[in-house]
Structure 1
């Protein structure tokens, strides 16, 4: 099986400004418990205990995206018995985008890029992240990524789905991985109905695949019944061939242990869909064999 969304960090090798900020509460909670090294050894011990034998590392806000990517490559090279692909950070609006992508694609583990469109309503309002959608260079960058056989990991909130779908329709050859089921942050009944309705704008696009990941970030004391409608809605809209499991560790370790996250997803996803959701979809999307 494959974990299609996790992070690693070695604080002596790569600087993560968001992670090491003191006294800053984030939308996902207080990062203090994870302000320490989180290495493949620890992640692998948790994941392998449940039959996960390969993974996809997702960029996580390093000060230098290329430095992070090179470090992840070194980790993968040092542990060839653990197949690992990676998604790197790259500003798709950068004037030297071609050169940046050239540098990333010298690394054999690189499969895609991520540039966050939306994190949470409050943080987005402060950072202006959503402005990417109005920038024509962002669309040009998406198209270039697809031309280079690079996917794009899309993190956003439901309020941005309709506008984002209009952008993605113009880049049909770029594979899109929707992170964290589209971040349904309003867990009221009305909020989930609104998320589900907006999700259709993305699920109807054939190049979009959905990650069942990060469901604890907006509801820390979640239960199986809380996440069940989210997972079931994603499976209904995308189908198992366009859904893949991701732990979002160590961020989701703030609320749950790996066993709880994994076993919850396994219990909710119907048995006949397990092979697709827990291995085959991710293997095909990221060209990664477990």
Structure 2
């Protein structure tokens, strides 16, 4: 029996142009100090996104990769000039500075931009406590841009600030990156905090989860670990606020792009109907394709 075509939208990937962009984080003298970082310190373009039949890449969301944080629209201009697949862009914009509004105006002029990301991580509490936060999230909501939030769900003070922001700006779509950095199975305390964080976020209907980035904490991750995390996410969020994503090219630290997507689509936990939502429909809706 022939397999039917499975369309996906990859909602979290990065393309690199080392000749035009800065990418300070890719340089060997800068963090993160991964021993294998040089493997991704090269150009990646759209044609590197190869998938096996019957999986068909119908579109993607490009998330800012540190191309030029002073003029973030330069990354978008390069992408719009060279990409041929349907795609949307999540650009960088600094939430803590007064140039945010001007940068937002510049980004609004680029047709693919649908949101911004300012990586929170260790600075999450400080950034989300900024006196400019409410003004800037209101601007995002007014321009119909989403916010990609990258932080650990185990960071309870920061998470509570994010939930408060989500409740104050209910029309703003907030999308959690990399499953909110789920902790290892051995760290039970952090796991409890992560699950509590997941539950708090799920109560905000304007928040969705992107599942990706497994290789960042464990190069040898296994599909069973993802299946377990997916079950937790489904129990709180349901299948309409979860997106499966790659984090390409960083996913290649663990396996080729095609193998990653094959591991997702063969997870026994996912029904064909849920897979269609989490691999295609939800990204189409949340990122305004």
TM-score, structure 1 as length reference: 0.88
Q: Are 1:106 and 2:113 counterparts?
A: no
Partner of 1:176: 174
Provide the rounded CA distance (Å) in 1 between the counterparts of 2:183 and 2:79.
Answer: 30
Partner of 2:5: none
Counterparts in 2 of 1:232 and 1:41: CA distance versus 1, 3 Å: same
Counterparts in 2 of 1:42 and 1:188: CA distance versus 1, 3 Å: same
> Where do residues 46-65 of structure 1 align in structure 2 (5 Å cutoff)?
46=51, 50-64=55-69, 65=72
Shift of 1:74: 1.5
Partner of 2:237: 238
* 1:219-252: CA deviation from partner (whole Å, max 9, x where unpaired): 2111122221111111221111111111000011
Partner of 1:121: none
Gaps of 5+ in 1: 119-123
Number of aligned residue pairs: give it: 274
2:78 aligned counterpart, secondary structure: helix
Q: 1:138 aligns with which of 133, 136, 144?
A: 133
CA contact (8 A) 1:56 1:85 kept: yes
Provide the rounded CA distance (Å) in 2 between the counterparts of 1:39 and 1:48.
Answer: 20
Provide the rounded CA distance (Å) in 2 between the counterparts of 1:29 and 1:57.
Answer: 25
* 1:133-179: CA deviation from partner (whole Å, max 9, x where unpaired): 11121222112101110000110012132232122222211101111
CA contact (8 A) 2:22 2:67 kept: yes
Partner of 1:270: 271
Provide the rounded CA distance (Å) in 2 between the counterparts of 1:163 and 1:255.
Answer: 33
CA contact (8 A) 2:24 2:30 kept: no
CA contact (8 A) 1:114 1:153 kept: yes
Partner of 2:142: 147
Q: 1:42 aligns with which of 41, 48, 72?
A: 48
Give the structure with the larger helix fraction.
1
CA contact (8 A) 2:95 2:127 kept: no
Provide the rounded CA distance (Å) in 2 between the counterparts of 1:212 and 1:101.
Answer: 27
